[in-house]
Amino acid sequence: MAYSFTFDDISGRPVAVVGAGTLGRRIALMFATRGGTVALYDPNVDVARDAVAFVEKTLPGVLEERGSGSPGTVVPHDDLAAALGGAWLVVEAVPERLDIKIPLWGEIDAAADADALFATNSSSYASSTMSERITDKSRFCNLHFYMPPTADAADLMSDGETDPAVLETLKTVLPEFGVHPFVARRESTGFIFNRVWAAVKRESLAVVAEGVADPEDVDGMFKINWGMRAGPFQMMDQVGLDVVLDIEEHYAAENPHLPAGPRALLEKYVDAGRLGVKSGEGFYRYAGPGVPGPGESVPREERLTLE
CB 22 within 8 A of CB 29: no
The predicted pLDDT at position 292 comes to: 84
Q: Give the pLDDT score at 306.
A: 87
Amino acid at 196: V
Q: How far is CA 42 from CA 79, 101, 246, in A?
A: 8, 14, 20
Which CATH superfamily groups domain 194-302? N-(1-d-carboxylethyl)-l-norvaline Dehydrogenase; domain 2 (1.10.1040.10)
**What stretch of H or E contains 37?**
strand 37-41
194-302 shares the fold of 15-183: no
Q: What is the mean pLDDT of each run of 10 residues along the chain (307 residues)?
A: 86 96 96 97 96 97 94 97 98 94 98 97 92 97 94 95 96 97 92 91 96 96 94 94 92 91 97 96 94 90 87
Q: What is the residue-wise DSSP string for 161-223? A: S--HHHHHHHHHHGGGGT-EEEE-SS--TTTTHHHHHHHHHHHHHHHHHTTS--HHHHHHHHH
Q: What is the pLDDT of residue 160?
A: 92
Give the pTM: 0.80
- The pLDDT assigned to 82 comes to 98
The C-alpha atoms of residue 256 and residue 1 are separated, in whole angstroms, by: 41
The predicted pLDDT at position 115 comes to: 96
pLDDT at 2: 73
The span from the CA of 279 to the CA of 181, in Å, is: 31
- pLDDT (0 to 100) of residue 293: 85
Of the candidates 127, 123, 128, the residue with the CA atom closest to the CA atom of residue 24:
123
- 15-183: CATH topology: Rossmann fold (3.40.50)
- Taking Cα atoms as reference points, which of 32, 3, 42, 17 lies closest to residue 121? 17
Which pLDDT score, from 0 to 100, does residue 124 have?
Answer: 80
- Domains of the chain: which residue ranges? 15-183, 194-302
Helices (H) and strands (E) in the chain, counts: 10, 10
Cβ atoms within 10 Å of 60's Cβ, excluding its own: 10
